[in-house]
Structure 1
Amino acid sequence: MEKFDRKTEVMSVIRREERELTAMSDQIFDHPEMAFKEMFASGLLEDYLERSGFEVERGLGSLPTAFRAVFKRGEAGPRIGLLCEYDALPSGHACGHQLQGPAVAGAAVAVRKLCRAEAFTLVVYGTPAEEGKGGKVILLDEGYLGDMDVALMMHGGPATQTDIRSMAKISATVTFHGRSAHAALKPEAGRSALDALLLSFQGIEFLREHVKEDTRIHYTVADAGGPCNVVPAVAAGEFGLRSYDSAYLDQLIARFENIVKGAALMTQTQVSIAYGQRIEGKIPAIALNDLLMEMAELFDAPDRKPPREKTGSTDFANVMHRIPGSCIRVAFVPEGTSSHSQEYLEAGKSQKAHEAVLCGAAILAAASMELAENGAVFDQVKEDFRKRRKG
C-alpha cells in the first residue's frame, strides 16, 4: 500500500475516535491512581476495547488492574503486542501515563478495522504499576506477555524519539546482626551491627573507583540500631545497584556481596541480604525503532530527534529481553522538561497532550499493520533482535 493511502485511512479512523480517546486521557488524568490501584483507568480502557470488538480478560493473575484484549484473524500469522501503562505518581500523572492507554486503544481499533493481513493476532496488554513496582515483571513471572512476537508502546515526552539503552537495576536490603552491650561500661562485649553497616558504605565508596563509568550505586540507612549508649545488635541499610549492561550488573552484585560479607567478617557480625525485584537493561530492537520513526515521519510527529542513547530504568526492558520491543515517545512538553516534574503535570490535559494521543495511536497502528502485512519487515525485526540478543 502507498504510504499516503495508509496515512489517510489510519487518520480517518483515529479522527473518528478522537473525542472518545482524548476524553479518556483527560478522565484518567483527573482520577490518578497509584500502583496496583488503577481500577478506574483499567476499567475505562477495558470497556472501550470490549465495545470495539476485542475479547477482554479483566484482571490477570495476582493483578486485578491488569488486562488482556485480543483480536484474532486466522490461525497463524504474526502476533503483535501493544502495551500501555496508566499508574500515577503521588503528585498525579506527572509522567504522562494518562496518554498511553487511549493511544494504544486507538491504535488497536485502527488495526482491527484496517489491517489487510490474512492471519494475525493483535494483543493489547494493560500493565499496571510501572512506577517502581514492576507490573510487567510480575506479569512475566506469572506466565503472561509470552503470546506476542513483538511489543510496542507509546509514551509522551519532550521530543519524538525512541530509546537505545536503559539501566538494569536491583535493590537490596542488608541486615547485620551483632551483639548488644553497654557502650560505656562494657563495649568489649558488643559486636556493632552499625559498625558493619558503615564499613559496607565505606567499601562501596572504594568500589566506585573500579567500576564502569555508567554504573550507579546508592545506599541509605534504614535502621541505625538504637541510641548511642548501646552497641547496636541490629542495623539495616537499603542499597541500589544499576548498570546499562545486565551482564555487568551480575558482576557488580558479586562484588557488592563481597563487600558486605567483608564488613561482617571485620566486625564479627552476621549478615543477610534480601534482594528486591530485578529490572533488566534493554536489548534494543533497532529495526523496530527505525520502523516507529519511519511512521513518526509519515504522520509528521512533532520535534523528531535521534534516539536517546541512555535512559533510566523501566520494566518494559524485561519484556525486551525476550522479544523485540520499542516505545515511541511523542513530544507534548517543551524540550528540556523533566518527567515527574510540575511542568509535566501541568501539560497533562493540554492540546499538545491530546495531539500526542492521536499521533501516538496513528504511529502504533501503522507500524503494527506493516509488521502484520509485510513479512520481510517482520522477519528483519526478528533477525535484528536475534543477533543483538546473542551479542
Structure 2
Amino acid sequence: MGTSHSPEESPDRDRHHLTINSEPSRAYLEQLEQDTERRKNELKHHLASHDGAADELHERLESSIEGQTTALGHVLHELHENPETAFQEHRAVKLIVDHLADHDIPAENPAFGLDTAIRAEVTSEDFDPACHRTIAIMSEYDALPGIGHGCGHNVIAVTGLGAFVALVELIRGTPSAFSGRVVYLGTPAEEGEGGKEIMARAGALEGIDAAVMVHSYIADLVDQVWLGRRQCTVHYRGAAAHASSHPFMGRNALDAAVLAYQGLGLLRQQTPPTDRIHAVLPEGGERPNIITEAATLQLYVRSQRPATLKALSQRVTEVLQGAALMAGVDVEIDWDSSPATLPVLGNSPLSDRWVLAQRRRGRDPYPAGTVSEVLAASTDFGNVSYRIPGIHPLISITDQDMGLHTRDFAAAAATPQAEAAGVDGAYGLAAVALDYLVDDALAQHVLDDFHAGGGGIAVESYFD
C-alpha cells in the first residue's frame, strides 16, 4: 500500500550531506603514553632467587635454536604470506609438522577433535608421571580476516616450535638434562573462537602441570592485563504489522534491540573502568513501513577478573531482558556460542625466569604494570592459566607505536625484528620450561603462586 521507488527513481529526491571532523582526539592516548614512559623508569623487577638449570644446558638450548634460525624464518614468512583464519590453518599445520619431521619428531594431527590442532611430546628416559613434571609449550598460527597476521601469530608459531625442538635435541644429546616431559601444542583459532578451550575440554591439558607461550607486541613486557571475554547473541521476536495503518497491532523487535543498546550504554556508567561492552545490530528489519518482527543484537563483554566478568554478564542479561519487557517482545539470549575466555592469570616465579632468559638474549622486558591496564585485549590462554600455572609474556617485533589487529602490525610481523623475536622468544620459552623441570623449589613456588592468585577454578562450568 503506497508506491515504492528506489533512491535513483524518486521524483522528489532531496539530499542533505553533513561533513564533520571525525578524527578522535589523541589527548588521552598521549597521556597514557606519557604514563608508560614514566613507569618504564620507575618500576623495577624483584626477581626471586632460584637455581634453575645449569648454564651449560642453557648454552645448548641457545645453540639449538640458533641452528634453526633459517628454518624458523622460513616458517614465519610462509605463514605471513599465506594467512589462514580460525580452523582453516591447514598450510600452517603442514609447515609445523614438516619442521618437526625434519628433526625426527612425530606429531599428532588432527588432535583433540580439531583438524588444525597439533600435539607432540618428548620425555626423559626416566620419566614417571607420578613424580616428574610436564610442561606444555604452545604455538598459535591463525590469522585475522582481511588483514592477515595483524596479531603476529606467525611469530608466536615459531617461538613455540623452536623452543620444543631445542628441548628435544637437548634431551637426545644429554639424557640427564632433565627428568620430565615436554608437550608441544599447536593451538588453532585463538581469534574469537577459543581454540585452546575447545582443546582443553577434549583433554589437551590432562597430565600437564604448567604451560608457556609468548605473544608479539610493540614492547618487551613480562606481563600485561588481559581481559576475560564472553560473546552474546540476542534475538528479539515481536509481531509484524503495517507501520501506518495498523501499528497498534505490532510489537517492534527493533525497539527492544535499540533499548538494549542504549541500556548497555547507560550501564557503562556503573561498571569498573576496565570493563568493556561493545555491540552491533546485524538484523533490524527490512523496510520502514513494516513494524520489525525480528531483530538481533551481537555483543562482547570483557572484564579483568573471572568474578567481575560473571557479575557483568548478569547485569547485561538484566538489561537485555528489561528491553524485551519494555517493548513487549520475546527474547532469546545465547551466551558463549564460542567458548568464553578468562583473563590471564600470571605467575611471578615463571615470569622471573622469562626475564632472566630474555636478558641473556639482550632484551630486558619491562615489569608488569608498565603499560596501562586500560590498553587490554583478550586471549584464550586465559582459560589455560586458570587451569594450570602459565605465563603469556609479550615480545617486541617493532619499535614503532602501533596497535595490534592493524595492517601496520601485520607488516611488522614480517620484518627482521620479527625474525629476531621468533628466535629470542623460542629460547625464552625453552629456558623457562627447562628451569621448571629441573628446579623443584621453583616448581613449588610456581604452584603456590598459582593457588594464591585464584587458580584452579572449574573453567568449563564457571558461568553455568
TM over 0.5: yes
* Cross-structure match for 2:208: 148
Listed one character per residue, the Cα deviations across residues 42-87 of structure 1 (whole Å, up to 9, x for unaligned) are 1111122233243311111331111101111222311011000011
Provide the residue aligned with 2:197 in structure 1.
137
How do 1:132-281 residues align onto structure 2 when only pairs under 5 Å count? Answer: 132-275=192-335, 276-277=337-338, 278-281=340-343
Query: After the TM superposition, which residues 27-42 of structure 1 pair with which residues of structure 2 at under 5 Å, given as runs?
Result: 27-42=78-93
Unaligned runs of 5+ in 2: 1-51, 457-464
Alpha-carbon contact 2:178-2:434 (below 8 Å) kept: no
1:313-356 deviation per Cα after TM superposition (whole angstroms, max 9, x unaligned): 00111111101111232222014222222322223332222211
Counterpart of 1:361?
426
Contact 1:6–1:366 (CA under 8 A) maintained in structure 2 = no
Structure 2: distance between partners of 1:208 and 1:155: 29
AA aligned opposite 1:167:
L
Give the TM-score normalised by the residue count of structure 1.
0.94
* Pick aligned residue for 1:305 from 366, 369, 372: 366
Unpaired segments ≥5 residues, structure 1: none
- Structure 2 distance, partners of 1:250, 1:237, is 20
Q: Distance in 1 between matches of 2:366 and 2:141?
A: 25
Q: Secondary structure at the match of 2:264?
A: helix
Is contact 1:55-1:71 (8 Å) kept?
A: no
1:81 aligns with 2:136: yes
Please say if 1:295 is aligned against 2:357. Answer: yes
On the 8 A contact 2:107/2:120 being kept in 1, the answer is yes
Distance in 1 separating the partners of 2:439 and 2:147 = 43
Change (3 A) 1:309 1:286: farther
On the 8 A contact 2:240/2:291 being kept in 1, the answer is yes
Check conservation: 1:163, 1:309, Cα contact below 8 A.
no
Q: CA RMSD in A?
A: 2.0
In 1, Cα distance between the equivalents of 2:372 and 2:427? Answer: 25
TM-score, with structure 2 as normaliser: 0.80
Aligned mates of 1:36, 1:207 — CA distance in 2: 35
Report matched runs for 1:52-63 at 5 Å. Answer: 52-63=103-114
The structure number with the bigger radius of gyration is 2
Contact 2:386 2:455 in 1 (8 A): no
CA change 1:330–1:258 in 2 (3 A) is: closer
Shift in alpha-carbon separation, 1:159–1:324, aligned structure 2, 3 A: same
Q: In the comparison of the two structures, how many residue pairs are matched? A: 390
Identity among equivalent pairs (%): 31
Partner deviation per Cα, 1:295-318 (whole Å, 9 max, x = no partner): 1112222x6322356331001111
Q: Is 1:104 aligned to residue 180 of structure 2?
A: no
**2:240 aligned partner, one-letter code:** S
Aligned to 1:123: 183
The answer to whether the 8 A contact 1:168-1:313 is kept is: yes
In the alignment, residue 89 of structure 2 is paired with which amino acid? Answer: E
Indicate which of 55, 62, 72 corresponds to 1:21. 72
- State how far apart, in whole Å, the 2-side matches of 1:220 and 1:201 are: 8
Give the whole-Å Cα distance in 2 for the aligned partners of 1:256 and 1:186: 33
1:121 to partner: Cα distance: 0.6
Give distance in 2, aligned partners of 1:282 and 1:313.
8
What is the alpha-carbon distance in structure 2 between the residues aligned to residue 98 and residue 252 of structure 1?
34
Kindly state the Cα deviation for residue 5 of structure 1 after the two structures are TM-superposed.
3.3
Higher strand fraction (1 or 2): 1
Q: Relative to 1, partners in 2 of residues 1:268 and 1:82: Cα closer, same or farther, differing over 3 Å?
A: same
2:435 counterpart of 1:370: yes
Report if aligned partners of 2:53, 2:438 keep a CA contact under 8 Å in 1: no
